[in-house]
Each structure stands twice: as structure tokens, then as C-alpha cells.
Amino acid sequence: MADPVERLAKIVASTSAAKKRLKLMSRVEKMAHAAMTLAPMLPGTLTGGSLKRPVFNVVISNVPGPQETLYLNGARLDEAYPVSIPADYQALNITVSSNGENLGFGFTACRRSVPGLQRMVDHIETALCELEAALIPASPVRKPRRKPAAGAAARGKAATP
């Protein structure tokens, strides 16, 4: 979607609907839902087939962090970037963690499956700048903080924005 506000509204509507459905379920229903969602993986896991063709290979999650400012020995925590644990046959994991009013994006990826991870990082930063400009019209349109690292993109590595 070209309009960043419309794009965000679609994401919010989708995640809100999913959370609402889960909230209405009893504990047993939630367990059954999880079991049915993961059931297609069982035969592959037992036969070793899931190692060749996993049901999913992308994980996106968010981890709510502290809302108040944190300090350690007088030093203020300004930024926090989550790091995920790589798993076999997982192509990409994106974890977003909050720290007060800031978000930290952590990317863990397979270099063969996602060779252009740096470009994804750059596109996310561009999209966030567009969204900020659309939601806060009085603010100047902010350009991404840095240019893509050509060497890192070529090697499939991502620098943290």
C-alpha cells in the first residue's frame, strides 16, 4: 500500500482482530488452536521432512520493554536492540522491542535465504520516516539516518540502524 497511514491502519486492524479472537478463547481453546496451527508440522517432524520444507521460516514478534527510563551505575539506557536465537531452517526473525517511546528492531537471518537483509533494514527505516511525516505533518520529513552499506548488503550482513 502506498499510503503509510492506510498501511498502518490495515496492520492495526489485522492484529487487533487476531488478538480479539484469542482473548475470547478459553485456555483449552487456545491450546487447541495452537495445536491445530502447528499440527501440519508434526508428520514432517516425525519423518524428518520438516528439515527440507518447514511450514514457516519467518518469525515476527514484539517484546514490550520498560516504559520508564532505566539506568545502570548512573548510565542511562538509550537504545535496546533485541537479538533472536537462530534456528535451523529459519530464514528470518524480526523482533521489535520497546524502550520508553523508542523501538529497537532486531534482525536475525540466514545469509543464503535473505542475502539482501541490509536493504530490508533500509526500507523499514524509510517506511518509518514516511509514517512519521504522515502522522506528524508539522515535523520535517526526516531522511533515513544513513545510506545503505554497499559492502554489508553485498555480504548479506545488516548494520543496526
Q: Express each pLDDT in 19-61 by its tens digit.
A: 899 899 999 998 888 888 777 666 766 676 666 666 778 888 8
Q: Tell me the pLDDT band of 1, cut-offs 50, 70 and 90.
A: confident
Strands 102-109 and 92-99: antiparallel
- Cβ atoms of residues 84 and 93 within 8 Å: yes
Q: Report yes or no on whether pTM surpasses 0.75.
A: no
Burial class (CB in 10 A: 0-12, 13-18, 19+), 117: buried
Distances (CA, A) of 55 to 22, 35, 40, 90: 21, 14, 7, 10
Task: Please state the rounded mean pLDDT for residues 143-161.
Answer: 48
Alpha helices in the chain (DSSP H): 4-24, 27-38, 41-47, 117-135, 150-155
Look at 149 and 139; give whichever has higher pLDDT.
139
d(CA 134, CA 4): 7
Grid cell of 39 as nine digits: 499440527
* pLDDT given at position 150: 47
Task: Please state the rounded mean pLDDT for residues 117-145.
Answer: 82
Is the predicted pLDDT of residue 4 greater than 80, yes or no?
Answer: yes
